[in-house]
Amino acid sequence: MANIYVEGHYSDNKGNQVFAPKNLNGVTVNFVGANNKLIIADTSKIRNINFDFPSHNAVIIIGKNGNLSGQIRAGYYCHINIGDNVTCTNKIYITSAEKTKIIIGDDCMFSTGNQIRSDDAHAIYDVDTGERVNKSKDIIIGEHVWFAFNSVVLSGSQIGEGSVVGFASIVKGQYLNNCIIVGAPARSTKHNIAWERPHVMLNEPWIRTHQNQIKSKKEYWNKTIENKPIYVGQGIFHNIYKLKPFGEPINKTKYHPYVELYNIFIQENRIYLKGIAAIIGIPCPEYTPCIKNYLLFTNKNSCYSKQLAKFSDPNISRKLFNGDYISYDKAGMFTFRDEGLSIDDIPNGIYKLKIKLTFNELEYYSDLKSENFKESFYQNDKVILKLYIINNVVYFKKTTKTLI
């Protein structure tokens, strides 16, 4: 089949499908086999790129805001997942075969002449045993990795986030986060490094000597850690959900809530809190707008609820969930716009504080707990408010003063 220009959605009688925006420039796809999928984010800026599906049941997913060009090939039952904000200076070549996957994390930066290959294109066999000696293997690249001119990544490689692959290096093996990787074959030559995107020739300051001269992305300034999991970024998780949207009915026992309180206090008849409220296992909320969390005031007679806001913290998944598939990019809970939640309409009484976590028809309840909470007290001429702990559970008390 000849190349098809990608101009929005497409399908054929072999089960091949394209989901893509209409404003792409010079993007083509070649379907030879059947049941292949190409999924391109609506805000992608890819251009002058060819996608090739020479076999069957392969998937290529391209995340948001990237500007890749070149050629990407996905062979038999292969899966290529490229995260958000992945860029290249000039054409890149990515190829996979024999049921392998290639995952390229968010915010990776490619230069010119780079290749990512999970296969060697041709099979090599041992003459004595007949066994294959160069089997195709998965490639996993963490987020925010910089690939210099003509560097190549070969089958079975894993590269931790925040690293730099040097000029004309040939990568084959496993490499830690935040390190410099150079040579042929490549090896780590320096640990505990961080890099930033602005080009030193094209952006001020014209001479750079220290971090305090620039605005750095703090999430990528990390120490090199042995055996640290490779984090690929939230774009990869969004992409997975695009491939397999969350279906109904939902098995509630498959997921579980996680609640952690950072801080809570009362001031001027408002309650303020910050922490985490997430349902582990559900997809990211960009594609699930029905995720809502509530602060509950409960006692034997009544229950009052206040909806909480979400705040973005991509490090939540890294610190607490080891990269599990959760709604981590907006898992935080906060009071709206830092203004707190008004408790004027909460009647007098003593209440246990709970968190309700919801996703579509799912509802989970969890006591609001803290092991190091300091009692919070507020009063004016009308009301007395108190937050305190019993058995690590947070309680709230409201008393309206009697006017004489």
The CATH number of the domain holding residue 53 is: 2.160.10.10
Does residue 39 sit within a domain? yes
Statement to judge: residues 170 and 269 lie in one domain: no
Does residue 246 sit within a domain? no
Work out the end-to-end distance of the chain between its first and last CA atoms, rounded to an integer number of angstroms.
89
Statement to judge: residues 286 and 364 lie in one domain: yes
* DSSP per-residue string spanning 290-331: TEEEEEEEE-SS-EEEEEEEEE--THHIIIIITT-SB-GGG-
Statement to judge: residues 111 and 223 lie in one domain: yes
Statement to judge: residues 262 and 391 lie in one domain: yes
Q: In the chain, how many domains are there? A: 2
Statement to judge: residues 265 and 306 lie in one domain: yes
Statement to judge: residues 219 and 142 lie in one domain: yes
Rounded to an integer, what distance in angstroms lies between the CA atom of residue 329 and that of residue 311?
Answer: 8
* Final residue of a structural domain among 241, 266, 284: 241
Statement to judge: residues 40 and 154 lie in one domain: yes
Does residue 247 sit within a domain? no
Does residue 130 sit within a domain? yes
Does residue 191 sit within a domain? yes
Does residue 133 sit within a domain? yes
Sign for the pseudo-dihedral over CA of 343, 347, 353, 358: negative
Does residue 346 sit within a domain? yes
Statement to judge: residues 83 and 221 lie in one domain: yes
* Final residue of a structural domain among 241, 261, 278: 241
Q: Which domain holds residue 334?
A: 252-400
Statement to judge: residues 229 and 273 lie in one domain: no
Statement to judge: residues 38 and 185 lie in one domain: yes
Distance of CA 278 to the CA centre of its chain: 14
Statement to judge: residues 257 and 217 lie in one domain: no
CATH code of the domain containing 271: 2.60.40
H/E element holding 241? Answer: helix 234-243
Statement to judge: residues 263 and 389 lie in one domain: yes
Residues 6+ apart with CB under 8 A from 191: 176, 178, 179, 223, 224
* Final residue of a structural domain among 218, 241, 264: 241
The reported pTM is: 0.72
Give, in order, the Cα–Cα distances in Å from 69 to each of 47, 62, 226.
5, 12, 34
Does residue 390 sit within a domain? yes
Tens of pLDDT, residue by residue, the chain (404 residues): 567 889 888 989 999 999 999 989 999 999 999 999 999 998 999 999 999 999 999 999 999 999 999 999 999 999 999 999 999 999 999 999 999 999 999 999 999 999 999 999 999 999 999 999 999 999 999 999 999 999 999 999 999 999 999 999 999 999 999 999 999 999 999 999 998 887 878 888 888 888 777 777 777 888 898 887 787 877 776 676 666 665 555 667 777 788 888 888 998 888 988 888 877 766 554 444 467 889 999 999 899 999 888 766 655 555 555 555 454 444 566 766 567 888 888 999 999 999 998 877 788 999 999 887 778 998 888 899 999 999 999 999 999 987 65
